[in-house]
Amino acid sequence: MKKTSTRLADGRELIYYDLRDDVVREAVDRRPLDAVATSSEIRRDPLLGDSIAIASHRQGRTYHPPADECPLCPSAGEKLSEIPDTAYDVAVFENRFPSLAGDSGRCEVVCFTSDHDASFADLTEEQAALVLEAWTDRTAELSHLPSVAQVFCFENRGAEIGVTLGHPHGQIYGYPFVTPRTALMLRSLAQHREDTGENLFDNLLDAEMAGERVVLEGEHWVAFVPYAAHWPYEVHLYPKRRVPDLLALDDAARTEFPQIYLELLRRFDRIFGPAEPPTPYIAAWHQAPFASLEEYGVGRDDFGLHLELFTIRRTSGKLKFLAGSESGMSVFINDVPPETAAKRLREVASS
């Protein structure tokens, strides 16, 4: 992998990740851009303890542009985009309309390929491995910023999810705090150790691997539908050796990851049959925060890295909406038994 860092016309950082070591990146951003002005602010809810990002400048972000005006495609002639070069393997840049910025963290966009009409599932194993390297490198770099307490790599796919750009891409958020979801995991982790003297992630993985909800298993990774799945089709992907973050994965796990992950994504696209459009999904990496975990009574190495993949489509032509119980009280109601979902995901394996 070759990494090249440069700057866009408004001062934002752009990083190319290339498969070939001999690639030279000298293209200059020729757009007449003003410096980015953001108004991101973090406010804390005194009742729930949640931190909310107020980012009014995002109202003006790019919304469903035509394909020939996609800001994530390479620049071509006078059609100038966020990527000045005419082609790329993987590109990462600071979001022009960030939810978090400055003392409030950082937001980056990860372009998985220059092919506008592709998806992550269309990547080769070599390309997917390069994306993993980019996620890992960005996690390492963002962890050193004083404004970042936790790094979250994720992909939203599909208009139903709320994606406003059709180009295959994901995002990385560097939060200035430990997120509520992670804080819940840390508290459960601490309570389990107090109750049993054992690690919750290890016990959970052992139980799921012995059960009927395993979807896909390799030598170093295992994917399963969790016992208490929130979503109609939800899969958790764990390395078999517990590590706190992407940086700690060994070479064997990195080598196998593209095979397992690409197969999972391709199965997701086959759940509802060939007549359905591509399955909308969210793919989210859960990593240990880089902030001190002293208040939770656990260490970073106690945390278990894992990826959560789920779709909001519950059956053909129907979506799972977060209505009164889910949105109002955070109590999910799942229409698809996890055992049924796991069986279906095994049925649609690649031949």
What 186-191 contacts at long range (C-beta under 8 Å, 24+ apart), as own/partner pairs, is 186/293, 186/296, 186/298, 186/303, 187/296, 189/296, 189/298, 189/302, 189/303, 190/296, 190/297, 190/298
- Contact criterion met (CB below 8 Å) for 169 and 52: no
Active site residue 169: yes
Q: Which two tokens stand for residue 147?
A: 């404004």
- Contact criterion met (CB below 8 Å) for 272 and 315: yes
DSSP code string of 110-147: EE--S-TT--GGGS-HHHHHHHHHHHHHHHHHHTTSTT
Q: How many CA atoms lie within 13 A of 52 on its CB side?
A: 9
3 state DSSP class of 83? strand
Among residues 266, 268, 241, the alpha carbon closest in space to that of 254 is found at 241
Of 116, 144, 167, 169, the active-site residue reads 169
* Angle of helix 200-209 versus helix 180-196 axis, rounded to 10: 90
- Contact criterion met (CB below 8 Å) for 304 and 334: no
Burial environment of residue 211 by CB neighbours within 10 A (0 to 12, 13 to 18, 19 or more): middle
3 state DSSP class of 281? strand
Q: How far is CA 210 from CA 42, 199, 205, 206, in A?
A: 43, 17, 9, 6
- Contact criterion met (CB below 8 Å) for 152 and 175: yes
Active site (catalytic) residues:
169
